[in-house]
A and B are shown apart, each in its own frame.
Chain A
Amino acid sequence: MKPSEFALRVENLSKTYASVEAVKNVSFDVQYGEIFGLLGPNGAGKTTTIRMVLDIIKPDSGNVMILGGTMSEKAKERIGYLPEERGLYEDMTLLDTLVFLGQLKGLSRNEARQRVEKYLREVELWEAHERKIEELSRGMNQKAQFVAATLHEPDLIIIDEPFSGLDPVNTRLVKQFLYRMRDRGAAIIMSTHQMHQVEEMCQRILLIDHGESVLYGDLEKIRQRFTSNAVQVELAGEPGQVEGVESLKLENGGYHMLLKEGVRPEQVLKALVNLPDITVKRFEQVEPSLEDIFVQVVSRQQAQGEVV
């Protein structure tokens, strides 16, 4: 039984470096049995937030409740972490490294050895267990780090860009692994730039920009809020600049157009019809992709920042 439904609760977390406010009053919570997406452009404050959650750096203000309490040595043993800046001991063998990291998470040597074998077989890496870390390919290294973060079967897993360096086959392997962890009841925080992965895997998200929380909540509900802001259009001819369109890209033989804030789809349809040498063959309002939402929100934030 979990003492609380939340694996993590963050309240008004802030951190300032010199004169830069890296994180400003960020609040969110993560439940057991969910994959939570932590999104944001580079330098938005995602990694700083994660490091404060993990007590690697101290926040200037705010509270972190993790696994039912404040961070403790016991809690550390129930957390798995795959950082963005990652590496392993290059002159140690894969087996020795993972057994060592498992022991640091409270496993006995024998238990760690058995788990390492089981997990390495699962991610198809057991054949390399006697090899030194420096001899592994980037993808193998990535999978090894993934095993290091999960072999103690933690209740909270925090993974930063888990799919970078992985080919599609291994990406699927790692995803299945994460689903199994989630189904076991673990809370998973996934920080990534790969929006399609978030769309596919996460139930809830937090979008941070310039250290501030700009979108937070259930992904479906967020999508619904942005529904009217994207259209799928099939045209005869090159449209060029279209009035009321924030951005457009070629997709499935047509154009996926993201509308500017406050612009309605019929206004864009009218603008397209009025364009010379353009014939509208199909015009359809679509749910925006997470990437569209991301671009739209971040652009808006940037525009506000410039005005300020």
Chain B
Amino acid sequence: MRKMWLIAVTTYKQQIRSGTFLFLTFGLPVLMVIAGAVPILAASRGTDLDSFGYVDQSGKLSPVGQISMEDHTYHFQSIPDETSAKAAFRQGDIDGYLVIPTDYLQGEPVSYFANDNPGEGLDMVFEDFLRRALLPQLSSQTLQRLNDPAKLTYVASQSGERVAEGPALIIHFALPAVLAVLFGLAVMFGIGQLGAAVVKEKDQRAMEIVITSLRPGELVAGKILGMTLVSLTQLGIWMVGGGIAVALAVSGSVDLSTLTIPWATLFWAVLLTVPGYFLFATLAAGAGIIAGESQQAQQLAGMLGFVGLLPLWMAGVLLEAPNSPILVAMTLFPLTAPTVILFRMTFTAIPVWQLLASFFLLVASLLVAVWAVTRIFRAAMLMYGKAMRPNEIWKALLKA
């Protein structure tokens, strides 16, 4: 146990000092933030616009001079025809103009003329303007209610659990999916690195020295544990960073006291993702042992990761039929169980027998995988730079 822990700590220290870890942990999120921020920044340019004209060809709109949304006031002026509107726009009197067609009420689209894309914010401004212009007799309060007709509170019929619409509801439904995605990321990045680390261990030819100091199982377990700690560190940094970013983004607009933590979801998430991750890690270590070179190990681990992430590509089925036989089968299949269950939790209440069966199958598979990988490891550890053939793997499994 002490030696397994020593291997884990040494592996952990080696990995977190490597350039690959530093790039994946800090560089990749920065690149993703930059990639995500560019379109948002580009779209937000439209919010500087606040003076508009409109040409009502339908004759159905009542005059509306201005509307206020959040802290902004937007001015609207009626213009009799398109030619005048175009002239006013060219002279800079207005930032853009709307043309409401004759058959507007029959569904004819409204045109917006401007130099800039209106962006998401202006769409809402125009929609609010049109609602007010169509229904001038309604009070401001009624109009506001019309914009947001109901604040729903969802009540679970069996448990009686109540979740109010808003951030709490988003957390309630999105959390399992977010956890599934995080699990997928951990598997995708973690197991590839683990496979490569095992190949490196073989390539550096230190194996023969190390293996005369401890049991093969201790070496394999130590490597897996060390690399899992690396993945957890990576995930932890991403989650803390992401959490801080989200908290900063919503600060002031969300009352944190209204948020509740869905403990049942978290309980099953931990119970399934921990053995789930170790199963992937063990199989990835096996891939590293079988492979002759790190590229091959990463390919094998990538194939494993693909199986684990398969549910991410099945969003359609998950949404429409979360209790379909194929999804129940994937719930019980150890490699897809963690992600499928977390996604299904978003859309349906999963029977407890399925959750328990899945957990026990996962743990059983993990034990079998550890046994098999340790056996293969013993046979393959001295095959420097050489991949194991299927018949050699089979022999290693049959023979101690």
Interface, chain A (partner B; CB < 8 A) = 51, 54-58, 73, 76-77, 79, 81-83, 85-92, 100-101, 103-105, 145, 148-149
Contacts and interface: CB of A to CB of B under 8 A. Distances in A.
Given A89-B14, A92-B14, A56 B209 contact: no
A92 B201 CA distance: 12
A277 B318 CA distance: 100
Contacts of B214: 73, 76, 104
B198 to A, nearest CB: 13
A56 B204 contact: no
Nearest to B15: A91
Interface residues of B, number: 20
Given A56-B382, A104-B6, A81 B204 contact: no
Interface in B39-57: none
Nearest to B202: A87
Of all A-B residue pairs in the complex, the 3 with the closest CB atoms, nearest first, are: A87-B205, A104-B213, A83-B208
Contact of B212 (A58, A81, A103): A81
A105 B208 CA distance: 14
B384 interface: yes
A89 to B, nearest CB: 6
Nearest to B6: A103
Interface in B210-255: 210-215
20 contacts: A51-B382, A56-B211, A56-B382, A76-B214, A81-B209, A82-B209, A83-B208, A85-B208, A86-B209, A87-B206, A88-B204, A88-B206, A90-B204, A91-B14, A91-B18, A92-B14, A101-B210, A101-B213, A104-B210, A105-B213
B209 A89 contact: no
Contacts of B215: 73
Given A56-B382, A104-B6, 12 more contacts: A55-B212, A57-B382, A73-B215, A81-B208, A82-B209, A83-B209, A86-B205, A86-B206, A91-B17, A101-B209, A101-B213, A149-B209
Contacts of B206: 86-89
A58 B237 CA distance: 45
B400 interface: yes
A56 B6 CA distance: 20
Interface of B: 3, 6, 10, 14, 17-18, 204-206, 208-215, 382, 384, 400
A76 B208 CA distance: 13
A19 to B, nearest CB: 14
Nearest to A134: B204
A54 B215 CA distance: 12
B209 A100 contact: no
Nearest to B399: A58
B18 A56 contact: no
Contact of A85 (B210, B212, B213, B384): B384
Contacts of B208: 56, 81, 83, 85-86
A187 to B, nearest CB: 16
A88 B210 CA distance: 10
A104 B10 CA distance: 11
A135 to B, nearest CB: 14
Contacts of B17: 91
Given A85-B384, A90-B204, A104-B3, A56 B213 contact: no
A56 B378 CA distance: 8
Contacts of A58: 400
A85 B211 contact: no
Contacts of B211: 56
